[in-house]
Amino acid sequence: MAQIFDRSSNALARMSLILTGLIVIALGLTADELQRSPWVTRQGQRADQPVPFSHKHHVEGLGLQCQYCHTSVEKSSYAGIPPTKTCMNCHAQIWTDAQLLEPVRHSWATGESIAWTRVHDLPDYVFFNHEIHVNKGIGCSSCHGRVDEMPIMYMQNTLQMEWCLNCHRNPGKNLRPTSEIYNMAWTGASELKPVWCAAEDVAAGSPTAGGVTCTETAPGGEVQMAAVSAPVTGVHAQLAGTGIGSEDTGVMHLPAGLHYTKFTSQAALGLFLVQHYDIRNPRELTSCEVCHR
């Protein structure tokens, strides 16, 4: 070879090797970038739907609750898409001639489901479950955004692994009282919007979300600021004294003798809820088997 190629062409060969290397790296980075780009993840894109169903009109406008249509979200892994029957509860009477609703009427007449295009769709090798998230204090809007303001549904977040892990590493900052799960406008506890929570005595068993009561209005009216465990004053305390409202009577559902704590930051509320909702630690929650089974 030495006879045919002199030293300078050797340098040229080395140079082109380096160049090729650089191009490969650049391509790799671009592919990685692409994989995370909204173009591939479909983040923010409006899907073509057979019917231009508006969450904004039906949720914000008409005041319908999410569970009215997504009936299984609290008790199964799937939230579910409503059957045509749910639409016909109203559209048998309202907007009966609208051209927009033709596919709904066709579906109702023939019994064929409406062919909605899926907006959120994890790969099959990922395990996901709505029930546990919802029952442990993660609201719909933390993952799906302001659905009540969407004229056409789109995906607010990428649903990529890094997004899931980001929350699993520190769930506290997204935890809210389970009573606020459907509250699209929830922004967390703060000085301006304090939250009061009380937990039932858990000596009897392990803590559960059901044992926590929270409110956004001061319980009893006069709870002291940020005391570690301010005793409840007013009506709750009186009820506790008389035994009315204790679990046994079954008349009132306010657990007796609750000690409300006032939270003026999401960090403090998160810490409290992690403890009382019995949330696993970040190491357990980010282990591969949680999502890849």
Do 135 and 209 form a contact (C-beta atoms < 8 A)?
yes
> Looking at beta carbons only, is 233 or 265 nearer to ligand HEC?
265
> Looking at beta carbons only, is 195 or 274 nearer to ligand HEC?
274
Cβ neighbours of residue 119 closer than 8 Å, sequence gap 6 or more:
42, 47, 153, 154, 155
Smallest distance, ligand HEC to C-beta of residue 198, A: 21
> Looking at beta carbons only, is 42 or 259 nearer to ligand HEC?
42
> Looking at beta carbons only, is 10 or 37 nearer to ligand HEC?
37
> Looking at beta carbons only, is 130 or 276 nearer to ligand HEC?
130
Smallest distance, ligand HEC to C-beta of residue 44, A: 13
Q: Give the Å distances, CA to CA, from 11 to 8, 16, 24.
A: 5, 9, 20
Smallest distance, ligand HEC to C-beta of residue 150, A: 8
Q: Environment class of residue 221 by beta-carbon count within 10 Å: exposed (0-12), middle (13-18) or buried (19+)?
A: exposed
Q: Give the Å distances, CA to CA, from 124 to 121, 127, 151.
A: 9, 8, 29
Torsion over CA: 132, 135, 140, 141 (sign): negative
Q: Environment class of residue 202 by beta-carbon count within 10 Å: exposed (0-12), middle (13-18) or buried (19+)?
A: middle
Smallest distance, ligand HEC to C-beta of residue 282, A: 10
CA 116 – CA 48 distance, rounded (Å): 9
Smallest distance, ligand HEC to C-beta of residue 22, A: 24
Smallest distance, ligand HEC to C-beta of residue 87, A: 3
> Looking at beta carbons only, is 53 or 196 nearer to ligand HEC?
53
